[in-house]
Amino acid sequence: MMDKLIIFDTTLRDGEQAPGASLNPAEKLEIAHVLQELGVDVIEAGFPISSPGDLESVKQIAKAIKGSIICGLARAIKTDIDAVAEGIKPAKRGRIHVFLATSKIHMQYKLKKAEDEIMRLAIESVRYARKFCPDVEFSPEDATRSDRDFLYRVLEAVIKEGATTVNIPDTVGYTQPEEYGSLIHGIKNNVPNISKAIISTHCHNDLGMGVANSLEAIKAGARQVECTINGIGERAGNASMEEIVMNVKTRKDIFGGLEVNITTQQIYKASRLVSKLTGFVVAPNKAIVGGNAFRHESGIHQDGVLKERSTYEIIKPEDVGFTGTGIVLGKHSGRHALAERLKDLGFSLTQEELVKVNERFKILADKKKTIFDDDLISIVEDEIKLIKPVWKLESFQVNSGTKVAPQAEVCLKYKNKILCGKSSGDGPVDACFKAIDKITTTKCELQDYRIEAVTQGKDALGEVSLKLKAKGKVVTSRGSSTDIIESSVRAYINALNKIESL
């Protein structure tokens, strides 16, 4: 049998714990669909005890996704395990993931419990979880700072109770590759029943070592890797899935041809979606999915690539679904060509959605000579909303310049009525936002605002990402247009609609 590496994606659980990365249930479900298309083996869909919304979301995902194992997280507490059991009930294949800290520092200060009590709780919680599900994972939280002998004993005990996966979290991103590899070796050599369980890695990125540590663990024999799309997660994030997968696939000479289920051609699409829905912009120099990851700027490099791609390219961009900025369509391209191109980019749209995207495409084609793939992706992401919009942009007008105080009038459609508001502001964008606040009578706090060009050229689409707080909720959203004021207005309205949907 081929040696297989299990990909456990925790974008929807640890990834969503990243400060400001709030996702609503519809968005989580959309990400889960893309994770399934990617071929992820296990999807950690949430932490059901944390809120009724999280429980519902895990249930929805368990109902809809049949191609991956659906997992939920629980502390070593019966009510937590009950909540996961309920959440994963509709799943074709479910998993309960129980965690309990084993490091002295966590036991003493956080849990205020001694070793024997931790041992008892670990045993009882796995025994209890096994009553609901044959697939149980146990994580000794802060494993890398735990006493090794105690860790070995806990792992032996939970495997005896039926844990089928033992995950070794580097909870605070403290370990180094060699040290983590030696820990995995230590577990293999000192836990007598280890052959009955799969060893898993879970690395955080506080020292920037998340991926390196995970890869070292794989070399040492770990056969499950926990990771997130774009490496999002608590603090500095988790190990990034795309980097781990492409390391294993690209360096077969080192990873011994390990089988990995991932359809790598879907990676770029998944990255864009997670970035859009969380509002976390991917840095241009990010490995595998950054905008510059496959761009060659220096003349020498360009010349080399034109003569022979492998001179400067170790991965073919198309292998990760990166379509680059090749000219794709123009003003005269028909709807059929548009639909075909969108299909190539991995989007399967309904007729109704295609009509909407086509309308925006035609408007853009009137303003912009060449439409790139990234322009198309941006239109689709902007147009195909997961939530029913309460507010829709009807029109806006701004007056701004060096000698006038910026003024804006915005008109929004609300329940078939057109409502307009006027305001001045510190700049045209601020004036528009204030005018919208007047219409919606919502007190909003803009916590973050960024703008970037989707493609190159003076006529490029400008994409605005912002973070907005209103009604006690914080959301992130995006909007795009060739006009950056319009992008800003669209992003602001998208954020308000998202808040209404939560």
Binding site for ligand KIV (CB under 6 A): 14, 73, 99, 139, 141, 167, 169, 171, 202, 204
Q: Minimal distance in Å, beta carbon 110 to Zn ion?
A: 15
Give the distance, in angstroms, between the CA of residue 236 and the centroid of all CA atoms in the same chain.
14
Element holding 199 (H helix, E strand)? strand 198-203
Return contacts of 389-396, CB within 8 angstroms, 24+ apart: 389/493, 389/497, 390/414, 390/496, 390/497, 390/500, 391/436, 391/439, 391/440, 391/493, 391/496, 391/497, 392/493, 393/486, 393/489, 393/490, 393/493, 394/418, 396/432, 396/435, 396/485, 396/486, 396/489
CA geometry: angle 275, 277, 283, nearest 5 deg:
15
Q: Minimal distance in Å, beta carbon 214 to ligand KIV?
A: 13
Report the SS3 class of residue 310: helix
Give the distance, in angstroms, between the CA of residue 16 and the centroid of all CA atoms in the same chain.
8
Q: Minimal distance in Å, beta carbon 241 to ligand KIV?
A: 15
Q: Please list, residue by residue across 218-234, b when 16 or more beta carbons sit within 10 angstroms of its beta carbon and e when fewer do.
A: bebebbbbbbbbbbbbb
Between 25 and 169, CB nearer to ligand KIV = 169
Report the SS3 class of residue 429: helix
135 binds, among Zn ion, ligand KIV, none (CB under 5 to 8 A by kind): none
Between 14 and 135, CB nearer to Zn ion = 14
Q: Minimal distance in Å, beta carbon 12 to Zn ion?
A: 13
Per CB under 5 A, the list member of 6, 9, 11, 14 interacting with Zn ion is 14
Site string for Zn ion, 101-120 (x = CB under 5 A): --------------------
Contacts of 209 (CB under 8 A, 6+ apart): 173, 175, 176, 177, 203
Q: Minimal distance in Å, beta carbon 238 to ligand KIV?
A: 8
Q: Minimal distance in Å, beta carbon 13 to Zn ion?
A: 8
CB 17 within 8 A of CB 236: no
Tell me the residue nearest to Zn ion as measured from the CB.
14
Strands 444-453 and 462-470: antiparallel
216 binds, among Zn ion, ligand KIV, none (CB under 5 to 8 A by kind): none
CB 145 within 8 A of CB 180: no
Looking at 10-18, 206-214, 378-386, 465-473, which segment touches Zn ion (CB under 5 A)?
10-18
487 binds, among Zn ion, ligand KIV, none (CB under 5 to 8 A by kind): none
Q: Minimal distance in Å, beta carbon 475 to Zn ion?
A: 23
Beta carbons within 10 angstroms of residue 80's beta carbon: 22
Q: Please list, residue by residue across 183-201, b when 16 or more beta carbons sit within 10 angstroms of its beta carbon and e when fewer do.
A: bbeebeeebeebeebbbbb
Between 126 and 495, CB nearer to ligand KIV = 126
3-state secondary structure 15-73: HCCCCCCCCCHHHHHHHHHHHHHHCCCEEEEECHHHCHHHHHHHHHHHHHCCCCEEEEE
Q: What are phi and psi of 146, to 5 degrees?
A: -90, 155
Give the N- to C-terminal CA distance of the chain in Å, as an integer. Answer: 46
Between 139 and 455, CB nearer to ligand KIV = 139
Q: Minimal distance in Å, beta carbon 14 to ligand KIV?
A: 5
Between 171 and 247, CB nearer to ligand KIV = 171
Q: Minimal distance in Å, beta carbon 139 to Zn ion?
A: 8
Looking at 6-14, 76-84, 135-143, 338-346, which segment touches Zn ion (CB under 5 A)?
6-14
Which residues does residue 372 pair with via DSSP β-bridges, in sequence order?
327
286 binds, among Zn ion, ligand KIV, none (CB under 5 to 8 A by kind): none
391 binds, among Zn ion, ligand KIV, none (CB under 5 to 8 A by kind): none
Residue entry with tokens 């820990």: 183
139 binds, among ligand KIV, Zn ion, none (CB under 5 to 8 A by kind): ligand KIV
CB 395 within 8 A of CB 476: no
Between 47 and 396, CB nearer to ligand KIV = 47
Between 236 and 281, CB nearer to ligand KIV = 236
The answer to the question of residue 463 lying near Zn ion (CB under 5 A) is no
Between 125 and 323, CB nearer to ligand KIV = 125
**Count of residues of this chain found to bind Zn ion when the rule CB under 5 A is applied:** 1
| 20 to 17, 83, 126: CA distances (angstroms) | 8, 25, 32
CA–CA separation, 12 vs 22, rounded Å? 10
Strand order in the sheet with 391-401: 391-401, 404-414, 417-424
Q: Minimal distance in Å, beta carbon 95 to Zn ion?
A: 16
Q: Counting runs of H as helices and runs of E as strands, what totals does the chain give?
A: 17, 17
Q: Minimal distance in Å, beta carbon 353 to Zn ion?
A: 36
Between 202 and 272, CB nearer to ligand KIV = 202
Q: Minimal distance in Å, beta carbon 73 to ligand KIV?
A: 6
Between 199 and 338, CB nearer to ligand KIV = 199
Looking at 12-20, 54-62, 250-258, 299-307, which segment touches Zn ion (CB under 5 A)?
12-20
Between 14 and 486, CB nearer to Zn ion = 14
99 binds, among ligand KIV, Zn ion, none (CB under 5 to 8 A by kind): ligand KIV
Between 14 and 27, CB nearer to ligand KIV = 14
By CB under 5 A, name the binding residues for Zn ion: 14
